Amino acid sequence: MILLAGNSSIILGAVIVFLIVTLLLVLLLLYAKAKLTPKGKVKLEINNEKVLEVEPGSSILSTLSNNKIFLPSACGGGGTCGLCRCRVVEGGGSMLPTEANFFNRRQQREHWRLGCQVKVREDLSIIVPEEVLGIKKWECEVISNRNVATYIKEFVVKLPDGEKLNFRSGGYIQIDVPKIEVDFSKDIFVEPEFHDDWDKTNMWSLKMKNTEETFRAYSMANHPAENNIIMLNVRIATPPWDRERNTFLKVNPGVCSSYIFSRKPGDKVTISGPYGDFFIKDTQNEIMFIGGGAGMAPMRSHIFHLFNTLKTNRKVTFWYGARSRREIFYEEHFRKIAQEFPNFNFTIALSEPKPEDSWDGPVGFIHQVIFEQYLSRHNAPEDIEYYLCGPPAMIAAVQKMLYNLGVPDEMIAFDDFGG
């Protein structure tokens, strides 16, 4: 009994000591935070002109957004896309390891930083690209939201009355995602013609839960003349497939794609833009567009602008890869352009055509078809401008092919939002 009582006293004493140490550490952290975080507001100077008085503690990205200045960001401020760039010329501390890989030595000497990684803890002076100051945010109304392929929706919203989106073809927007839950079986409508594929993998069983507000970037499919709407091609992002259980892993499906898929005509969504640098060069070089999946979006924007607005004389080809005929969309629009403009050619290749497709066109991965049918016989593939958008595997395969053909990097541009 004496031994048990002694052990109990030792355990009780250890617990008390642990609690005291934990309390001291918490108090120390609170004290350090109070010392490191200034009391009251701090000044944020922008482009040596505008000065904001802001609450300290948030990132530059969030602080600017709260003041209606929108740096681009495809990852929602996660530090993985490297797009929210600005120069921090005063304050901000040293560059973090999470930023270093996004900047070369010259850029680091010029004080380039990622806005999502720099906390506003003191007075700062920053330089943002001038075009950022022209970015706006609107509450838009959903006009339509239809499946154009099995897992891709054409999502169209209209801007508020009197508002226009002044952008260049190939640009993108950012859409805000609120805290929300999406039950695929209740909240998502899919046209009956695509139900069989959704049924095969029991897509209807998926549920998405978003616990904090975020945003994502999507390339626009509309072209600059369609400036009172925003059109997106959005592919639903599913969880990885569990081969052993023959079902999806129990993780969240894509937050923003699930949110977009669940929107109905009349719903309101918050969108900011325009952003982007996936623009066509002002030359007379031949252009080759290569796309797949939801990578259709910037291709439609570019091609419609080139031919419907500019009436270009440049030689342009568009090569689009899909799995089966059901995954083809907008074909009639591009066939019409090809009929009207002899300098435009449109080719579709199917990688896995189904018997019911009765497909007599090219079969294979799109990079193989491009090489076999065109580039292997081209006199100077290195003189073509290449614009790529699609799944990562497609982009990697095309880049490898172009590298083997001796195409310099400066002739290749790609947009990795749409795939």
Indicate whether 177 and 265 sit together in one domain. Answer: yes
Percent of the chain at pLDDT exceeding 70? 94
Comparison of pLDDT for 1 and 101, the residue scoring more: 101
Same domain, 230 and 269: yes
Residue 26: the pLDDT is 75
The mean pLDDT value for 96-121 works out to: 95
Both 348 and 291 in one domain: the answer is yes
Q: Are residues 245 and 319 in the same domain?
A: no
CATH of the domain at 113: 3.10.20.30
Do the domain assignments include residue 238?
yes
User: pLDDT, tens digit, for every residue of 302-333?
Assistant: 999 999 999 999 999 999 999 999 999 999 99
What's the whole-model pTM score? 0.82
Residue 349 belongs to some domain of the structure: yes
Contact 148, 320 (CB under 8 A): no
Q: Is the peptide bond before 240 cis (omega within 30 degrees of 0)?
A: no
Predicted pLDDT of residue 16: 80
Provide the token pair at 249. 């892993």
**Mean pLDDT estimate for the chain:** 93
Q: For tokens 């609450």, name the residue.
A: 55
Per-residue pLDDT averaged across 18-28, rounded?
78
- Residue 143's SS3 state is strand
Indicate the helix (H) or strand (E) that contains 320: strand 316-322
CA distance 162 to 175: 20
In a domain, 19, yes or no: no
22-26, 45-49, 188-192, 271-275 — which is least confidently predicted? 22-26
Using CA atoms, how far apart are residues 172 and 261, in angstroms rounded to an integer? 18
pLDDT at 61 over 90: yes
Choose the final residue of a domain: 255, 275, 295.
275
**Cα atoms in the Cβ-side hemisphere of radius 13 Å centred on 139:** 4
* CA separation for the pair 340, 170 (Å, rounded): 23
Instruction: Based on the fold, state whether residues 146 and 269 are members of the same structural domain.
Output: yes
| 152-203 residue pLDDT tens | 999 999 999 999 999 999 999 999 999 999 999 999 999 999 999 999 999 9
Burial of 144 (0-12, 13-18, 19+ CB in 10 A): middle
Is pLDDT at 3 greater than 70 in this prediction? no
Q: What is the CATH number for 140?
A: 2.40.30.10
Domains: count for the chain: 3
User: Does residue 324 sit within a domain?
Assistant: yes
Give me the torsion for CA of 300, 303, 309, 312, rounded to 10°.
180
Q: What percent of the chain has pLDDT over 90?
A: 83
Q: Is residue 127 part of a domain?
A: yes
Same domain, 258 and 147: yes
> Residue 354 above 80 pLDDT?
yes
Assess whether pLDDT exceeds 90 at residue 405: yes
Q: Are residues 323 and 388 in the same domain?
A: yes
Domain finish residue from 132, 154, 186: 132
- What are the angstrom distances between the C-alpha of 126 and each of 47, 79, 92, 240, 311? 6, 18, 9, 41, 41
Q: What is the pLDDT of residue 30?
A: 66
Among residues 103, 132, 161, the one where a domain terminates is: 132
Residue 4 has pLDDT above 50, yes or no: no
> For the ranges 33-42, 122-131, 200-209, which has the lowest average pLDDT?
33-42
pLDDT category at 78 given cuts 50, 70, 90 is: confident
Q: Indicate if the pLDDT at residue 36 is higher than 70.
A: no
Q: If you average pLDDT over residues 285-293, what whole number do you get?
A: 98
Residues 291 and 264 in one domain: no
CATH code of residue 344: 3.40.50.80
Q: What is the rounded distance in angstroms from the CA atom of residue 153 to the CA atom of residue 376?
A: 35
Q: What gap in Å lies between CA 319 and CA 349, rounded to an integer?
A: 8
Range of the domain at 407: 287-415
- Number of residues that this document lists for the chain: 419
**Which pLDDT tens digit goes with each residue over 87-102?**
999 999 999 999 999 9
- Which segment of 41-55, 68-82, 370-384 scores lowest on mean pLDDT? 68-82
| Cβ neighbours of 345 (radius 10 Å) | 16
CA pair distance 139, 158, nearest whole angstrom: 9
Per-residue pLDDT at 8: 63
